[in-house]
Structure 1
Amino acid sequence: MSKILSNKDNLQILYEDNHIIAINKRAGDIVQGDKTGDKPLSDVVKAYIKDKYNKPGNVYLGVVHRLDRPTTGLVLFAKTSKALPRLNALFVSKDIHKTYWAIVKNQPPKPADTLINWLRKNPKNNKSTAFPKEVKDSKKAILHYETLKQLDNYFLLEVNLETGRHHQIRSQLSNIGCPIKGDLKYGFDRSNKDASIHLHARHITFEHPVKKEPISIIAPLPNDPVWNACN
């Protein structure tokens, strides 16, 4: 499922039924409210549901997972209180499978590999540092990457996570000398004009929490020259 079903008010809806809704997040959008006070994507989705279904009063929407602000791609929300704990349980049991695409400047040491690090988050600068072995306050991080394509100046990687740590993909790829395009925080040499980074939550598969049928959703890539070269 890769077609955008609706693009009302820049809200790119990829999948929707009575219990769940999947959005293709734009760079710069925040999933949940934070100290910036900027309107979060969750509020935009609530307003869409309220308008589309003529709902009186408050609209229920459960945030299942998040994406970093400069990252694009698939975000899943629960539309019912029945679906939310079931989706949360799927994430905990790792029965929801998420695939990311990342564009990096340097060629990885190996075409495909498994990266195992211990990540420690520094809340002062909101950054995670990757260590080769366990250190105080660190958490084990595991990801698998594969090089999908060599572009003119970059490399397209597909990334699958075994763990879900703070800034995990950004930190672990930077640690092998492959910072993501536009990601100044993790060592790329210049920012993207729109403050995005070239990390995209591309694909998600899971069993529907209520209908118990397999769901597979693909998020179309952002429209820019580098991403367009990946299609």
Structure 2
Amino acid sequence: MANKILSNKQNLQVLYEDNHIIIVNKRAGDIVQGDKTGDKPLSDIVKEYIKDKYNKPGNVYLGTVHRLDRPTSGIVIFAKTSKVLPRLNKLFLSKEIKKTYWAVVKNQPHKNEDTLVHWLKKNPKNNKSYTHLKEVKESKKAILHYKLLKKLENYFFLEINLETGRHHQIRSQLSSVGLPIKGDLKYGFDRSNKDASIHLHARFIEFVHPVKKEPISIQAPLPNDAVWMACLK
């Protein structure tokens, strides 16, 4: 992934923040947590933002609740306290956080709406998940629901709701039914996007705040890209 699209705290897009949590709009190319590339992760950028904004001395606590794939954009939630992190983790595990994704795919779906059920098995050597119609050893059940929102000039615009959160789930499941995501070479699209992104965006998230007990509903603006903009017309 090209370093030129990595973020810094000056262009960090904060969608929601209180004393307990911070929700940001991840740009394609950012990594949520540090990895073997050594590139600066989004978690460090958010820590710098908090440290500067509140003039905090010493180390800033930030808990990573979930991740998005590096080429994917959209909503990422972080915990600002060690107290709220396990509560957010519990919401994810109990499926009390509703996540909605938008995707642009190559081909027209056979159905305008459908539920996909597969068993996914991750291959760590190539960092890829493979779909199976029946359970195989070390596989995990994956369920998603998709809806065709719009036919674009050359592509098709889908909305996806996840029931499970598996490694590369949307990318792998859509590809397995002939719907590779634009730019996703790993899962069958024929060419990459110029910035190495893929057209998969975590658009909406809804949950009840684990401390305030208030409903939270967040929408992440789309990347400023001609294909994404065509989805909104």
TM-score, normalized by length of structure 1? 0.96
User: How far does residue 135 in structure 1 lie from its aligned partner after superposition?
Assistant: 1.3
Taking only the aligned residue pairs, the percentage that are identical comes to 81
1:20 is aligned to 2:1 = no
- Residues 129-151 of structure 1: per-residue CA shift (max 9 Å, x gap): 11111112111111000001111
User: How far does residue 110 in structure 1 lie from its aligned partner after superposition?
Assistant: 0.6
Structure 2: state its 5+ residue gaps: 1-7
Partner amino acid for 2:75? L
Aligned to 1:143: 144
Q: Distance in 2 between matches of 1:122 and 1:98?
A: 25
Aligned to 1:129: 130
User: How far does residue 79 in structure 1 lie from its aligned partner after superposition?
Assistant: 0.6
Aligned to 2:36: 35
- Residues 54-97 of structure 1: per-residue CA shift (max 9 Å, x gap): 00001010100000000000000011112111101100110011
RMSD between superposed Cα atoms in Å? 0.9
Q: How does 1:209-224 map to 2 (within 5 A)?
A: 209-224=210-225
Q: Distance in 1 between matches of 2:136 and 2:211?
A: 41
Q: Is the 8 A contact 2:102 2:202 kept in 1?
A: yes
Q: Distance in 2 between matches of 1:185 and 1:8?
A: 30
Partner amino acid for 2:174? L
User: How far does residue 8 in structure 1 lie from its aligned partner after superposition?
Assistant: 5.2
Partner amino acid for 2:31? I
Q: Distance in 2 between matches of 1:204 and 1:92?
A: 15
Q: Is the 8 A contact 2:33 2:41 kept in 1?
A: yes
- Residues 139-168 of structure 1: per-residue CA shift (max 9 Å, x gap): 111100000111111111000111111100
Matched length: 225
Aligned to 1:3: none
Q: Distance in 1 between matches of 2:142 and 2:55?
A: 44
Aligned to 2:55: 54
Partner amino acid for 2:68? L
1:80 is aligned to 2:94 = no
Q: How does 1:172-211 map to 2 (within 5 A)?
A: 172-211=173-212
Q: Is the 8 A contact 2:107 2:179 kept in 1?
A: yes
Structure 1: state its 5+ residue gaps: 1-6
Q: Distance in 1 between matches of 2:88 and 2:179?
A: 32
Q: How does 1:147-186 map to 2 (within 5 A)?
A: 147-186=148-187
Q: Is the 8 A contact 2:120 2:139 kept in 1?
A: yes
Q: Is the 8 A contact 2:120 2:130 kept in 1?
A: yes
Q: Distance in 1 between matches of 2:71 and 2:87?
A: 28
Q: Distance in 2 between matches of 1:55 and 1:224?
A: 36
Aligned to 1:44: 45
| DSSP 3-state at the match of 1:48 | helix
Q: Distance in 2 between matches of 1:155 and 1:189?
A: 15
TM-score, normalized by length of structure 2? 0.95
| DSSP 3-state at the match of 2:231 | coil
Partner amino acid for 1:202? R
